[in-house]
Amino acid sequence: MSMQDLENVSGRKSDPTLRDLLAPLFRRKRLLLLTFFGVLLGSGLAAFVVSSVHEASMEILVNEERLEPLVTPESTVQTAGAPTPVTDEAINSEVEILKSPDLLQGVVTANRLQDIERKSLTTRILHGKQDDAWYIARAVQHLGKKLDTKVVSKTSMIAVDYKAADPQVAFNVMQTLGRLYLEKHLAVHRPQGSYAFFTNQAQKYQQALEDSEARLAEFSKISGDAAPDVEKAEMAQQVVNSVAALHDTQQAIAADKQRIQDEEARMKATPERSPTQQVSDSAQVLLQQLQTDLLAAQVKRTQLALKYDASYPLVQEADQEIAETQAAISAAEKQQYVNQTTDRDPTYELIREDIAKTRADLASHQATAGALDNSIHSLQLQMVDLDQKALKQADLAREVKTNEQNYLLYVAKREQERTSDALDEKRIGNVVIAVPPVLPLLPWVSPLLVMVIGVVLAAFLSVSAVFVAEYLNPSLRTPAEVLEVLRIPVLASVPKQSA
């Protein structure tokens, strides 16, 4: 008989049935049951432990909506713009603040977590009795390990979880952690004492402003000039006008001098007097006189001729007188007498009068020039004095303006800091507890869920243990395995009988 025939006869080479698959479970029932109930017992213990653990959690939102004011004496204007995206560095910084030892120590001392460490049996056995600082440090260490801080994926939120046996303790720890975290965040991002600093500076510059205003008022009272710069400007205009008038007067003086020289030259060439009337006439009076004398001489000769001879000396004398008189009459008839009337020349008089008037104008202009020169010099001295007063007043006014600007600046900065402090008191910041902690009345994980998972896990592990044991067992358990391994046909098989 061939091997094929033996296999066909034994029938062990056929496909495995459900009985074949379940046979290991029946063969190793003890292992199956021990594994199943052991895992089930462990699940029950886990459900009991889990039912006594309560988890409190909160979520913190990190944003950049509020701009922290700059602590600077300069004026700052913060305008609202597009929200700044939150960077990973900012979120990680907040996570590190949450994990800071001083923050955790504040949570420990506020909730007396060191008392839990002091009452722990394990701590007593391993470390014995320690001082309070050691228990606080150990509680801080355990709190840092129990706190589960993680960044929520694809958000700018930080999730914080804490588990404790007492739900009230878990809630108090999370509540204290959130409060201390907000305080530390504000302390880190905003310097302390800025409001007091700006308040002191505002008071300082207010006093300085009052002092400078008093000095400015006192200066105006002492100097008697309320606005020296305005007076100086008006006086400068007067100086300009006076200088222009002085130049005009000097030009007039030069013109008067030149005019006097020209008119004196013309007066020398002009006669003082000029004829105004001229009458031409003969010597009528002389002729009448000569004729009278001739008549008298003829009468006298006639009388002498009656008494004396022509050769008588008296007669000859009378003849000679008559001849001379006739000769004089003949000469007088030939002569003409001119009567001429003269007066002062009008051109000469006009020139003389104009010279006199010009001399008077020259003297007036010279006096005006001297007065203008003295006035300009006096105005310039007054301008120098007003300029010094204006500089002093401008310096005081500039000091007043500077103190006023500083006072207003620090008042504005003080109000800005006061607003920031008020917002800080209202916890309006760049971080906010979006999901506050609540009292965890329910356990961290449902015991029923743990039991269901335990049953499933017990079934899986027990079955797996059976099949692993079957796989690791080198004995032959079925005719098919004998035929497959030894190549020996099995004619009969007797099942193991339990005692």
**pLDDT tens-place string over residues 426-463:** 444 567 777 788 887 666 666 677 677 777 887 788 77
| Residue 393: predicted pLDDT | 77
Give the pLDDT of residue 5: 46
Residue 409 lies in a domain: no
> What is the span of the domain harbouring residue 277?
273-344
Q: How far apart are CA 37 and CA 79, in angstroms?
A: 69
pLDDT at 437: 84
User: How many domains, in total, are found in the chain?
Assistant: 2
Q: pLDDT (tens digit, 9 = 90+) per residue, 191-243?
A: 556 667 777 877 888 888 888 888 878 877 777 666 777 777 888 888 889 88
| Boundary residue ending a domain (293, 313, 344) | 344
Query: Is 451 inside any structural domain?
Result: yes
In a domain, 19, yes or no: yes
Residue 337 has what pLDDT?
57
pLDDT at 440: 76
Residue 83's pLDDT band, with cuts at 50, 70 and 90, is low
Residue 357 inside a domain? The answer is: no
Q: Flag whether 407 is in a domain.
A: no
Instruction: Kindly state the tokens that stand for 294.
Output: 């001739």
- Boundary residue ending a domain (319, 344, 369): 344
- Is the residue at 200 inside a domain? no
Q: How far is CA 3 from CA 12, 13, 15, 477, 493, in A?
A: 12, 12, 18, 21, 18
Q: Are 147 and 160 in contact (CB under 8 A)?
A: yes
**Average pLDDT over every residue of 49-77:** 65
Domain end marker among 312, 344, 376? 344
| pLDDT of the residue at 174 | 87
Confidence of residue 165 (pLDDT cuts 50, 70, 90): confident
| pLDDT confidence of residue 12 | 45
pTM of full prediction above 0.75: no
Residue 162's SS3 state is strand
Cα–Cα distances in angstroms (integers) from residue 290 to residues 322, 323, 325, 467, in the given order: 10, 11, 6, 208
Compute the distance between CA of residue 99 and CA of residue 148 in angstroms, rounded to an integer: 10
**464-496 residue pLDDT tens:** 877 777 777 666 666 666 666 667 776 666 666
The answer to whether position 295 is within a domain reads yes
Q: Between residues 3 and 395, which one has the greater pLDDT?
A: 395
82 lies in a domain? Answer: no
d(CA 417, CA 468): 73
What percentage of the chain reaches a pLDDT higher than 70? 73
**Rounded mean pLDDT of the chain?**
76
Report yes or no: 31 and 469 within 8 Å, Cβ to Cβ: yes
